[in-house]
Structure 1
């Protein structure tokens, strides 16, 4: 009976969740993807700069 109570509790809790509407979900998805792209570009540029300086100093 314990496992049935567990899944029953999960079902009741999931009904209480406030799920985002389609428009909100689309907006949040765009925000997350934009943030990931900008952050990735930032770290790629930093990585290229650091690599350039390391190669420059090691070759001299």
Structure 2
């Protein structure tokens, strides 16, 4: 009984972690796309108005 319950719990946890990994991957890819677009704009204009990276002279 307890062993079966542990198995179910373990399986559920694995599924949740996999879902978290996929969402994390999607978020990371979206962030990378956004960062790339921002960096391209920075290179083109030489600066971004109101961007925190302005302080570092990026």
TM range, smaller chain: 0.5 to 0.7
Aligned to 2:29: 45
| Superposition pairs of residues 1-60 of structure 1, within 5 angstroms | 21-60=5-44
Larger relative contact order (CA 8 Å, sep ≥ 6): 2
Post-superposition shift, 1:59?
Answer: 1.1
Any gaps of 5 or more consecutive residues in structure 2?
45-58
Q: Whose Rg is larger?
A: 1
Could you state the TM-score of these two structures normalised by the residue count of structure 2? Answer: 0.63
Between the aligned partners of 1:55 and 1:35, the Cα distance in structure 2 is: 30
Could you state the TM-score of these two structures normalised by the residue count of structure 1? Answer: 0.61
Q: Root-mean-square deviation (CA), in Å?
A: 1.4
